[in-house]
A = this chain, B = another copy of it.
Amino acid sequence: MVYIIVVYDMQADRTRLMLNFLRRYLTHVQNSVFEGEVTEGDLETIRNHVQTTLKPDESTIIYRVGSEKYVDRTVVGDDPTDESRFL
């Protein structure tokens, strides 16, 4: 298993595509940020899906860390882990 952070930059009217897909694998932590532990296979699936979903001028960064314990997350401002904001 690997821990990943996914940050996407897409046209506002197309973000739902990414949102709905990434929700199946990861936790939604901010407007365009997802995090979670996945298998190497899932990571491959995510990478491929993102690649085919993006249009020119859109991008996604996938950060991969060995484990959640190597990352310390501080949230400043409104708590973005409150999923109700995104419904």
Contact = CB atoms under 8 A, between A and B. Distances in A.
B9 A30 contact: yes
A58 B86 CA distance: 13
Interface of A: 5, 7, 9, 29-33, 47, 50-51, 54, 56-66, 70-80
A49 to B, nearest CB: 10
Given A5-B5, A30-B7, A31-B9, A73 B80 contact: no
A56 B82 CA distance: 14
Contacts of A75: 59-62
A61 B78 contact: no
Nearest to A5: B63
